[in-house]
Amino acid sequence: MDEINDGYDVVVIGGGAAGLAGAVALLRSRRSVLLVDAGDPRNAPAGHVHNFLTQDGTVPDVLYAVGRTEVQAYGGRILHGNVDTLERDGDLFRIQVQGREVTARRVLVATGARDELPDIAGLTERWGIDVLHCPYCHGWEVRDQHIGVLATGPLAVHQALMFRQLSDQVTLVAHTGPLPTPEQHEQLAALGIGVVTGTVTQVDSAAGRLSGVRFADGRSVELDALVVAPVCRARAELLAPLGVQPVEVRLDGHLLGTQVESDPTGATPTPGVWVAGNVTNIQAQVVSSAAAGLAAAAAINNDLITADAEHAVQTYRDRHAIQGTWDQRYASMEQMWSGQPNAPLVSETRGLRPGRALDVGCGEGADALWLAEHGWDVTALDVSRVALDRAANHGERVGVQVRWLHAGLVDAALPPASYDLVSAQYPALLRTDDNDAELALLEAVAPGGVLLVVHHPTPSKEQANAHGFDPDDYVSPADVAVLLDDRWRIEVDETRPRNVTTGAGSAHTQDVVLRARRLT
């Protein structure tokens, strides 16, 4: 079974041609995709797929199995079952499938349609075999045979004309449909298409084949195949909570089916929801459904590209604003901090064997210089150029080597799993909605290495504002702790009294300390 994650860029609902094609296209654009497959495609009764270039004659189950393999080859996940609920949660969608819940930024619904067949004894059993509806899907297979066209609506004569291309033995069985007009009678007569009136009550079969139809008055007609026009209803019930309802498709007042309205890309009026295949087009065949899935996937990917770019721009602006804020704070005084290493850093690193250390949000460099003086190979980074210049000058004066980087951790492109100690002391990383900062901290720690995160709670909003920033906006030990899995062992997680009487942090009387060791 595929490992199912909690969140995806796109959840594709429906494992037929439209859903599979859409999933593959999205995966090839490096989107995270979960495909939910109920395993009940519309064409399951059919023996083969036709008019699908290079795949003509393929058994539907085989075609879809190959499609699922392609999805998995590109890193997609597949969950088998029916969707229980689909609902919006802010900017995301929540999808429940047999007790599992996942979220998605976008949804592609390719649930197809169900065919409602005429209520005639024996007809359903032959559906997809020799009870047919589409000359392009099955016409070649019944060529030159005696074909009956069951009239239930205004398209019966048109169906008879289409199947006449395939056989000169075509009979229109009037059943419950409207009788042909004089003009249509003339067309049928000119093409040698017979017309039989009466209500059909039974589809007969013998020796594993359809043999004919029987009328209410006892008459019968021998046939090799029977063409019907089912009502094709969109499987769209799960979209109702999102305000998406299928509309009826009618011809001369006769119901042909229902489908979800969408634009040419499959986008519905509900933002974030796309549809593809028979759920939005009752005439779609397998190949056109696959094409629609591809078109929808391209539109979804483009929508996500736009959203990602907007998010990146906002993040870029926020980070530069933060850099400016901290530069102004440091520039407002000759020295912001005491120049001494933070007490939790000293106490929690005693006994550790020196190795490679990463000091995140190093400020004026006291922690980084202390570590370097005690044998650590230190990389220190900060978003404030003013603070880094002070730190570098201090290092030169005392003759201690540290690599100083003007960058935020998320943007620094540091080698992952490379540091024996990763330290983030006090407001070092701005908290983000997607946990980028916290995950970057975890990724930087080498197996066997130590992560040390120290923070202090805000005494009051007034004091925080007086200092020009609110520590609660920055990554805390609690933010990191919730992301630690069984690859980590928490060694220290406690709140301690903080003995500070001078400097910018003097208003804070407690330290929250988290020390965790990466096991693998």
38: domain CATH number? 3.50.50.60
Query: Is 344 in a helix, a strand, or coil?
Result: helix
pLDDT of residue 322: 79
The Cα 409–Cα 137 span in angstroms is 57
Residue 372 and residue 470 share a domain:
yes
Nearest to 59 by CA among 124, 128, 9, 112: 128
Q: How confident is the model at residue 508 (pLDDT cuts 50, 70, 90)?
A: low
Q: Which helix (H) or strand (E) holds 472?
A: none
Residue 321: how many CB atoms within 10 A of its CB? Answer: 10
| Phi, psi of 179, rounded to the nearest 5 degrees | -70, 150
Residue listed under structure tokens 């007009």: 181
- Positive or negative, the CA dihedral 409, 519, 350, 492 is positive
Residue 390 and residue 284 share a domain:
no
Range 299-319 average pLDDT: 91
Residue 298 and residue 405 share a domain:
no
Considering its fold, how many domains does the chain have in total? 3
302 within a domain of the structure (yes/no):
yes
431 within a domain of the structure (yes/no):
yes
477 within a domain of the structure (yes/no):
yes
163 within a domain of the structure (yes/no):
yes
Range 441-461 average pLDDT: 88
Range 465-492 average pLDDT: 84
Q: What percent of the chain has pLDDT over 70?
A: 95
pLDDT in tens, 124-178: 999 999 999 999 999 999 999 999 999 999 999 999 999 999 999 999 999 999 9
Range 404-408 average pLDDT: 93
The Cα 173–Cα 148 span in angstroms is 6
pLDDT of residue 437: 87
Q: Where among 227, 253, 271 does a domain terminate? A: 227
- Integer angstrom CA distances of residue 127 from 14, 46, 123, 138, 204: 22, 8, 6, 12, 13
Residue 469 and residue 407 share a domain:
yes
CB 514 within 8 A of CB 347: no
pLDDT of residue 500: 57
Q: Where among 207, 227, 247 does a domain terminate? A: 227
Q: Residues near 65 by Cβ (< 8 Å), separated by ≥ 6?
A: none
- If one compares 516 and 318, the residue with the highest pLDDT of the two is 516
pLDDT of residue 502: 42
pLDDT of residue 436: 85
324 within a domain of the structure (yes/no):
no
Q: Where among 193, 227, 261 does a domain terminate? A: 227
Q: How confident is the model at residue 469 (pLDDT cuts 50, 70, 90)?
A: low
| Phi, psi of 182, rounded to the nearest 5 degrees | -55, -40
- If one compares 497 and 106, the residue with the highest pLDDT of the two is 106
pLDDT of residue 466: 53
Residue 497 and residue 466 share a domain:
yes
Residue 378 and residue 250 share a domain:
no
Structure tokens at 317: 């602006």
The Cα 389–Cα 406 span in angstroms is 10
Q: Which helix (H) or strand (E) holds 272?
A: none
Residue 242 and residue 101 share a domain:
yes
The Cα 232–Cα 247 span in angstroms is 12
Nearest to 478 by CA among 421, 446, 422, 435: 435
327 within a domain of the structure (yes/no):
no
pLDDT at 503 over 50: no
pLDDT at 34 over 60: yes
Query: Is 255 in a helix, a strand, or coil?
Result: strand
CB 211 within 8 A of CB 223: yes
pLDDT in tens, 194-207: 999 999 999 999 99
pLDDT in tens, 86-107: 999 999 999 999 889 999 999 9
Q: How confident is the model at residue 428 (pLDDT cuts 50, 70, 90)?
A: confident
Q: What is the CATH number of the domain that holds 501?
A: 3.40.50.150
Q: How confident is the model at residue 464 (pLDDT cuts 50, 70, 90)?
A: low
- If one compares 108 and 44, the residue with the highest pLDDT of the two is 108
Residue 222 and residue 238 share a domain:
no
pLDDT in tens, 251-295: 989 999 999 999 999 999 999 999 999 999 999 999 999 999 999
**Range scoring the smallest mean pLDDT among 125-129, 297-301, 318-322, 446-450:** 318-322
Residue 155 and residue 44 share a domain:
no
pLDDT in tens, 352-399: 999 999 999 999 999 999 999 999 999 999 999 999 999 999 999 999
pLDDT of residue 324: 86
321 within a domain of the structure (yes/no):
no
CB 341 within 8 A of CB 370: yes
Q: What percent of the chain has pLDDT over 90?
A: 81
Nearest to 508 by CA among 479, 474, 481: 474
Half-sphere exposure of 367 (CA within 13 A, CB side): 30
Structure tokens at 125: 């059993």
Q: How confident is the model at residue 458 (pLDDT cuts 50, 70, 90)?
A: low
Range 455-471 average pLDDT: 64
Range of the domain at 392: 333-518
Residue 63 and residue 124 share a domain:
no
Residue 101 and residue 76 share a domain:
yes
- If one compares 466 and 145, the residue with the highest pLDDT of the two is 145
DSSP-assigned letters across all residues of 87-154: EEETTEEEEEETTEEEEEEEEEE---EEEE----BTTGGGBTTTEE--HHHHTGGGTTS-EEEE-SST
Range 40-58 average pLDDT: 90
CB 124 within 8 A of CB 45: no
| Phi, psi of 62, rounded to the nearest 5 degrees | -70, -45
What average pLDDT is seen over the chain? 92
pLDDT of residue 516: 97
Residue 157 and residue 63 share a domain:
no
432 within a domain of the structure (yes/no):
yes
